[in-house]
Amino acid sequence: MMIGYARTSTLEQKASLEAQRESLRGVGCEKVYEEQISSVAPRETLNAALEFCREDDILVVTKLDRLARSVKHLGEIVDDLDARNVGLRVLNLGLDTSNATGKLMLNVLGSVAQFEREMMLERQREGIAKAKAEGRYKGRKPTARAKAPDIEQLLSKGLSKRAIAKHLNISERSVYRVVTSLS
């Protein structure tokens, strides 16, 4: 059985998700798992797809970067699939791990993909540093500080910092930071 996995990083990428879904169905995937989440976040749907795979199944993705976040992560996924005799196909590369050449190419291309990502992040950091030096970089809008009055009110009602964080959908650390600034 061929099992597809499609992923986009944001909810705004609906067209990309649809294109991946069509590609996966087009090559014969009987079941397609899809999610819209960053590669660095916990990916429950990817885990479900991997768990669903059985011996002689093939996991299919449209692009390598839709599957793994690093060469190490890719290696872990491939090792797990190999141990269970599950193949991996990457459509845009014409890659299939059912043979030695496919496995070699997967490792080489995984390394190149990680290199490209690291270069992109390096350029991004350089751009941010330049924008900061020119006084144009503002960073993201602080969300927890804007909720300081709500935090103060909930504290006065006797709620714990953990309960406040959960109630306001912010991190516990943010609550502590606001509380410290109030003192």
**Other residues' Cβ atoms within 10 Å of the Cβ of residue 183:** 4
Let me know if residue 127 belongs to a domain.
no
Whether residue 105 sits in one domain with residue 61? yes
Among candidate residues 21, 2, 23, the one with its CA nearest the CA of residue 13? 21
Whether residue 154 sits in one domain with residue 76? no
Whether residue 112 sits in one domain with residue 67? yes
Q: Let me know if 33 is exposed, middle or buried by CB neighbors in 10 A (0-12, 13-18, 19+).
A: buried
Residue 102's pLDDT is: 87
Would you state the structure tokens that stand for residue 120, as one six-digit string? Answer: 């992109």
State how far the Cα of 21 lies from the Cα of 31, in Å rounded to an integer.
10
Let me know if residue 86 belongs to a domain.
yes
How many folded domains does the chain comprise?
2
Active-site residue identified among 9, 156, 174, 181: 9
Give the range of the structural domain holding residue 69, as residue numbers without chain letter: 2-117
Is 9 in the active site?
Answer: yes
pLDDT in tens, the chain (183 residues): 999 999 988 766 778 889 999 999 999 999 999 998 877 788 899 999 999 999 999 999 999 888 987 778 888 998 899 999 999 999 998 899 888 888 888 878 878 877 888 898 999 999 999 999 998 888 777 778 888 899 999 989 999 999 998 989 888 888 988 888 876
Residue 130's pLDDT is: 94
pTM for this structure?
0.61
C-alpha to C-alpha distances, 180 to 5, 141, 165, 173, 175, nearest whole angstrom: 45, 19, 15, 10, 9
State how far the Cα of 48 lies from the Cα of 34, in Å rounded to an integer.
10
The widest CA-to-CA distance across the chain, in whole angstroms, is: 65
Whether residue 105 sits in one domain with residue 28? yes
The sheet carrying 31-36 orders its strands as: 31-36, 2-8, 58-61, 87-90, 95-96
Q: Is the Cβ–Cβ distance between 95 and 67 less than 8 Å?
A: no
Q: Phi first, then psi: give them for residue 8, nearest 5 degrees.
A: -125, 160
CATH number for position 84 = 3.40.50.1390
Residue 73's pLDDT is: 85
State how far the Cα of 181 lies from the Cα of 166, in Å rounded to an integer.
20
Whether residue 151 sits in one domain with residue 96? no
Whether residue 166 sits in one domain with residue 82? no
Let me know if residue 80 belongs to a domain.
yes
Whether residue 38 sits in one domain with residue 92? yes
Whether residue 172 sits in one domain with residue 84? no
Whether residue 37 sits in one domain with residue 96? yes
Whether residue 154 sits in one domain with residue 111? no
Whether residue 96 sits in one domain with residue 45? yes
Whether residue 172 sits in one domain with residue 86? no
Let me know if residue 124 belongs to a domain.
no
